[in-house]
Amino acid sequence: MRIGRMLITVVACAASCVAQLTVEQKLADFNDLVATYDKNYGPYEWKKEAFGFDLLRTGPWLERVKATRTDLEFYEIMSKYVASLNDAHDTYSLPSSFFARLGFTVDIYDGKVLVDGITRGLLPLTTYPFQIGDELVSVDGRPVEEWITEFSQFRSAANPRSTRRFAAGYITSRSQSVIPSTGLLGDSASVVIRRDGGNMESYTIPWTKTGLPLTTVGPVPTPNARLKDLSVAVPAFDSSDYMAPLRRLWNCRLTETGTVLNFGAVGPIFRLPTNFVQRLGRVSTDEFYSGIFQAGGYNIGFIRIPSFSPNNTTLAINQFIGEIVFFQQRTDGLIIDVMRNPGGSVSYDNLLLSAVHPALFRTIPFQIRATSGWVAGISSSLTSAKAQGAEPWVIALLTNIHGDLKQANSENRGMTGPLPLDDVTIDRLPLDDGRGNKLVYSKPILALTDEFSASGADVFPATLQDNQRAVIFGWRTMGAGGNVSSYGAGAYSEGSTTLTESLMVRRFPINTGGELPTAPYVENIGVRPDIQADYMTRDNLINAGKTFVDAFSAAMVDHIKKNQ
């Protein structure tokens, strides 16, 4: 089926429905994608140092483009090129809304691809008796490891473990915007599952499909207008036009989250102890999940931050401050859960951080790709801010950013120095009520992280760790270390790409033990926990995370004792 924005005549339809983009059009669109990254991609030098990938070394890629026989093959090359950056924020997307599901979800637990969700409305128990915790062995005769290897080429998540988990999810839930071949799926799939007892069972499961599959977009007689910048909207405290570039820089959120359970959900992935008394998270307007439980003779507070893009920013801030004041008065320690958090606004992120730091603390600054576009955009915003009587801190912040951008651009440097993006200084004061009264939690904190603590949820534990404010418990964060914007990627093929424009910079370089070069970046490195504990086990899947909960409860008790 042909999908596009061109006006076509009935006479031309028969020919164009089977035709493909020309080689010249494919090359033009691929070069357009490369040019977009060449000008705007922040971590260019870091990717060369860390992985030896030079996005400007395009000779082999151009040959692969020339060799493609269909539009879908061309889309695959575009996707693989972007995924080669090993950047969680950067994903090439086809102009397709087509989605196909098998009615159950999978993820990797104890190194195996296990069923972790079943839609019984699609797969009734009498016909499909497999259960959560059973192992997916193959689909359409191909072992799951082959599928993971294939799908990892289209979507990277900054580190091997996150990438593999995303790829595993695509085996049973596929979006054509990410996996081009999804539009060619048949009516059903042959599925082999190993039951808990070891028996192998085979099923024929229908694909549930939505949207329109894309098969061709060519030929295109006249180029379309280039897609406008598609930057994702993020919560902002000020909607003034001069704040637009800042809101763009604050946008640190994954744009595609796959099928990972509870990713961005208000409730945690695990079940809290039986004596947990819930406060927030009962009604749809609650932006957090919170409460208190007892362990080791202590009252322990718990709050989950599901994302840093709340539905209502003002309400979320008030709820968080209210919980912080409550916990300060009634608990001995606080657990903050940012597992499976896709990120959001850095400005909102830092405001929440100011409520858990009782003393001056250092935020995470950013190095920005110093393009002429950024120089002009910040300059325009600065002029507008002055004309509209913006607050002094806004004018000072825009002035600082503009000065660094202009200098870096004039010196032909790729990046600025590390800059704060939501205030004039990197160091911040604790939150107060405007009358000098602190609204801060001052007692021991333990933060829960995993490989899907991403982007803005990389910032949160990185700040806590850099300021020695909390014990980080769980798994290394994703390492999605910059702001992200979206761009059109070729007038002929009409795809788009999300692109990292900056780099988060930590206080000290991080030694990864040889896995990556020692560097102060969050990108790819992530935040390494002080206490490593893996939620992704079959035991936790089957028992609602009891082993994990027992472990972090014991760690919290120990942390409280050490601080008495």
Q: What is the mean pLDDT of each run of 10 residues along the chain (564 residues)?
A: 34 43 96 96 97 97 97 97 97 95 98 98 98 98 98 96 97 96 96 96 98 81 39 48 94 90 97 98 97 98 98 96 98 98 98 98 97 94 95 95 95 94 96 91 98 98 98 98 95 95 97 96 98 98 98 98 95
Q: Give tens-digit pLDDT for 182-230.
A: 999 999 999 999 999 999 999 999 999 999 999 888 665 544 433 333 3
Q: What is residue 219's predicted lDDT score, i.e. its pLDDT? A: 64
Helix-helix angle 313-330:346-353, to 10 degrees: 20
For residue 336, CA distances in Å to 306, 527, 541, 552 come to 10, 15, 21, 11
In a domain, 126, yes or no: yes
Give the pLDDT confidence score for residue 16 in this predicted structure.
Answer: 37
With residues binned 3-state (H G I as helix, E B as strand, rest as coil), the percentages for the chain, rounded to 5, are: 30, 20, 45
Q: CA separation (Å) from 130 to 119, 192, 335, 490? A: 12, 10, 36, 44
**What is the span of the domain harbouring residue 396?**
370-410
- Is residue 150 assigned to a domain? yes
Out of 178, 210, 242, pick the residue that ends a domain: 210
DSSP state, 311?
S
pLDDT, position 220: 57
Task: CATH number of the domain at 105, please.
Answer: 2.30.42.10
Please say which residue of 410, 440, 475 terminates a domain: 410
As for how many domains the chain has, the answer is 2
SS3 344: strand
Inter-CA distances, 161 with 156, 281, 517, Å: 10, 30, 18
Distance CA 378, CA 242 (A): 8
Let me know: does 217 contact 494? Beta carbons within 8 Å. yes
Structure tokens at 255: 């744009």
> Is residue 131 assigned to a domain?
yes
- 352 in Cβ contact with 337 (< 8 Å): no
- Residue 550 has φ and ψ, to the nearest 5°, of -60, -40
- Report pTM: 0.92
In a domain, 384, yes or no: yes
pLDDT of residue 222: 43
Question: In the Cβ-directed half-sphere of 158, how many Cα atoms lie within 13 Å?
Answer: 27
* 372-387 helix and 392-410 helix, angle to the nearest 10 degrees: 160
In a domain, 120, yes or no: yes
Check residue 239 and give its pLDDT.
66
Q: What per-residue confidence (pLDDT) applies to 293?
A: 98
| Domain closes at, from 210, 232, 256 | 210
**Residue 360: inside a domain:** no
pLDDT for the residue numbered 291: 98
The full 3-state SS of 182-237, as one line of letters, equals HHHCCCEEEEEEECCCCCEEEEEEECEEECCCCCECCCCCCCCCCCCCCCCCCCCC
Query: What pLDDT was estimated at residue 82?
Result: 98
Can you give the pLDDT at residue 255?
85
**What's the burial of 31, exposed, middle or buried (CB within 10 Å: 0-12/13-18/19+)?**
middle
Q: Residue 21: helix, strand or coil by DSSP? A: coil
Say if 14 falls within a structural domain.
Answer: no
Residue 172, in any domain of the structure: yes
